[in-house]
Amino acid sequence: MTKRNYIQNKVATSSFTLPVAAVITILSWCCSEHIWSTRIIHCLLVFACTYLLIILDTTYSLIRTRSRIGPALFLLCMAIMIPGCTILEVCLALPFVLSLYMLLNTQQEERSHLPIRSFQTFLFLSISILIHPVVIILLFPYIVAMGTFLRAWTLRSAIAAILGLLTPFWFLFGWYLITWDTQIPIRIFDLLQNTEILNWPKLFNTLGWEKWTLIILIIFIGICSITHYLRTKNYDKVHTRMLLNTLVLIEICLIIGIIILPLYMIELQIMIFTVTSILAGHYFTLDHSKTTRIIFIITIICFFILIIQNIWNNLFH
């Protein structure tokens, strides 16, 4: 390690990175305009997702060295984004992270007589779809990843996946029979009925420059992380490459989703934060080139400015 990449290496591998990000996140939430009960729920949901990301990194050994920069980036992104989010939008993160965790766990499940992981993957994905229909765009990359990278598709796993997708809707149908409340079923089809999905001018008026800066920064980091992985993937184990290929495919689909479905920017941002944080952890921890050092410093400065601006707006406006 040279003096030039000392700061990047120290931040990426330090055990204090995640606690510092947690403190900054809590401080940002304390200054938000939400009532305290909403802040506490937001906090519990996001920290639960962060814990699952740590477990995911540890279980699948996606990085060749110990690092907490990925979960820390996720916390900082949510600290900037959450003050403008509802509880339902934040709830989307938890089943999505669970579905992602179980998806990576389906690797080579053709050896199993009971494909419970495939069932759980699509069960949590279906719950995410119930929270917001835009998540349905991930159905295709999940199917492709299981069939190509993870080698998990068999007749048993296909049946388990279909049952997992239908189970939440089966409970929803039971709820409908009891209450005759059609609000939730109608909401599921809002995505198909919305004729303003490509209304960029409306989105420019509703989102501030902080949110636009954040999403542009995250997409840029995601593209850099994908480029780094494709350039250096031969250094990873075959098992790790299979998992990272899956994450890269999902990341690309989410970026495309943000471009063609801008009105669902918030929901897609929450999901892209999750995937990008994992890929960025791999990128910033393992690549110490001059370009990466510059990108890392710019990222830290941008996050610092956005968080300060976020706290300032909540306190004085």
Residues in the chain: 317
**pLDDT of amino acid 195:** 47
Q: Which of 293, 306, 317 is closest to 213 using CA atoms? A: 306
**pLDDT of amino acid 278:** 92
Q: Give the relative orientation of helices 290-316 and 6-13 as an angle to the nearest 10 degrees.
A: 60
Model confidence, pTM: 0.89
**pLDDT of amino acid 153:** 86
Sequence spans of domains, the chain: 1-91+196-317, 92-193
Query: 249-277: string of b/e by CB count within 10 Å (b at 16+)?
Result: bbbebbbebbeebbbbbbbbbbbbbbbbb
Long-range contacts of 203-207 (CB under 8 A, 24+ apart): 203/262, 203/263, 203/265, 207/265
**pLDDT of amino acid 245:** 94
Q: Which of 93, 143, 144 is closest to 122 using CA atoms? A: 143
Q: Which of 258, 282, 274 is closest to 124 using CA atoms? A: 274
Distance in angstroms (rounded) separating the CA atoms of residues 55 and 271: 17
Q: Half-sphere exposure of 101 toward its Cβ, with a 13 Å CA cutoff?
A: 19
Inter-residue contact 278 to 56 (CB < 8 Å):
yes
Position 228, amino acid:
H
Distance in angstroms (rounded) separating the CA atoms of residues 98 and 123: 10
Query: 109-128: string of b/e by CB count within 10 Å (b at 16+)?
Result: beebeebbbbbbbbbbbbbb
Q: Can you give the pLDDT of all 317 residues of the chain as single tens digits?
A: 455 566 777 777 777 888 888 888 888 877 766 677 777 888 889 999 999 999 998 888 887 677 788 899 999 998 888 766 778 888 899 999 999 999 998 876 656 567 888 999 999 999 998 888 889 899 999 999 998 998 888 888 899 999 999 998 888 777 777 776 666 555 556 555 554 555 566 666 666 677 788 888 999 999 999 999 999 888 888 888 999 999 999 999 999 988 887 778 888 889 999 999 999 988 988 888 888 889 998 998 999 898 888 888 777 66
* Backbone dihedral angles phi then psi of residue 182, each to the nearest 5 degrees: -95, 5
Inter-residue contact 71 to 277 (CB < 8 Å):
yes
- The helix or strand, by DSSP H or E, that contains position 288, with its residue range, turns out to be none
Q: Which of 133, 127, 125 is closest to 99 using CA atoms? A: 125
Burial of 25 (0-12, 13-18, 19+ CB in 10 A): buried
